[in-house]
Structure 1
């Protein structure tokens, strides 16, 4: 049975998703996206991620061991990032990964908690066995499972685009110079903790490398690219222990922050 805390967690994701959709709709229709909806989205994120973090890590402890473990937790990282976005000038694309996570959490919560209260279960698959889910709930479960990996790949590539966006934004004074630094550190953590992020980085690296080394390009391009990769490799080369996902809340499947 779902607890009050579980409903609050889900409410945070509903707020995030609905507010993000409102913000995106206003943005793409050129109606002037209100910063209110951007902030409302990350308010929902803060609620949901705070509950998950408290459930997985417990009450904060005044010792180094607790904070080291907390800083390696993916949900803590997304919580801190959502707090940063909440206090920052809106960057539209920054909402997309959170909205994708929330979509899957909302769908799963709807299937496992809400639908069971309004839709009658199907007949048992075997004599004397448990009832089967309602056909609508079953179709929803199949859709979530079939599209989960694709969505997580989309998140990984989107997070790389966000880094490009905030770097360009710092150059053109659309966001603070601190934003790409903070986000690059977040992305470094994601690289060590997410296979989807590693795959996306490898793909992008391969495409750029192939273009730079194309016959006829100036040799200086190769030199600059190699030095850039060396600097990035040294900065990101610290050995981190990848975190093992731990169940918390009503997550759709291992991998989506906000309800592991």
Structure 2
């Protein structure tokens, strides 16, 4: 589970509250909120969410605006995951052993977001997982931290609808994320085989990321198995050339031979049941 951005709330001083207690107290609560790492984490997700929406709206454009929104997605992701890693480091809960670092979801997503921002090719669907994460994190933070300061109780309709939405669609979104990660890998590998510029490096990097996620995420393992079954069904069709079937069998054998050994031997059977970068309130 991810580290928790602490709230670091401060108590309003008596002198500030003497003239207008209600207004002063409310203002101080907002200022205190803005000063927390938790809020900085939230801002990263807001940036990612706005970047994802802007990228979707400008997807038909190949100009600077579209690139700006693409980069905004990963800047926000680097910031939000970076906040958690920074807090883990300062709290001395972050192990600096290489295998321990590789096992952390926050490290995995921080690294791949930073690489998409800097050296990896522009891949449209790569923005989707980060945008989906941010939808749920931003909604959860708004319900837990923003609405109370607006004097909207947890029993209010808007708060209840947010809670129901997150509860209903969180796991479904993780399956969707896993599918997009699978498609991202497929696109990268196909373009690498076509010798597109930069894609062999991208294939090496993203394959490692995908393997680490596969070892940690029950959702990704389920997605891979479902697509394997679909392809098995397609190649088993009687009208398909026998050579295609044979090649598919060889491909699966190669994948199991060279990709079957876990990178994280002690966590290969681990599972992921929540969005990475999920804060646990630690007042």
Could you say which TM-score interval applies, normalised by the shorter chain?
0.7 to 0.9
Per the alignment, in what secondary structure is the counterpart of residue 42 of structure 1?
A: helix
Larger RCO: 1 or 2 (CA < 8 Å, sep 6+): 2
Q: For residue 147 of structure 1, what is the aligned residue in structure 2?
A: 169
Q: For residue 68 of structure 1, what is the aligned residue in structure 2?
A: 99
CA shift in 2, pair 1:244/1:211, >3 Å: closer
TM-score (ref. length: structure 2) = 0.77
Q: For residue 52 of structure 2, what is the aligned residue in structure 1?
A: 20
TM-score (ref. length: structure 1) = 0.84
Q: For residue 16 of structure 2, what is the aligned residue in structure 1?
A: none
| Whole-angstrom distance in 1 between the partners of 2:151 and 2:195 | 53
For structure 2, which runs of at least 5 residues remain unmatched after alignment? 1-5, 9-35
Output one character per residue of 1:61-111: Cα deviation in whole Å (capped at 9) or x when no partner.
9x9x62220111111011110011000332111100000001100000010
Match of 1:118 among 146, 150, 154: 150
Question: How many residue pairs align between the two structures?
Answer: 240
Per the alignment, in what secondary structure is the counterpart of residue 2 of structure 1?
A: coil
Contact 1:52/1:259 (8 A) holds in 2: no
Match of 2:203 among 160, 177, 180: 180
Match of 1:86 among 117, 126, 141: 117
For structure 1, which runs of at least 5 residues remain unmatched after alignment? 122-131, 246-253
| Whole-angstrom distance in 2 between the partners of 1:20 and 1:80 | 19
Q: Which segment drifts farther, 195-204 or 34-43?
A: 34-43
Q: CA deviation at 1:60?
A: 8.3
| Whole-angstrom distance in 1 between the partners of 2:241 and 2:82 | 50
Bigger Rg over Cα: 2
CA shift in 2, pair 1:58/1:231, >3 Å: farther
Match of 2:186 among 155, 164, 170: 164
RMSD of the TM alignment (CA)? 2.4
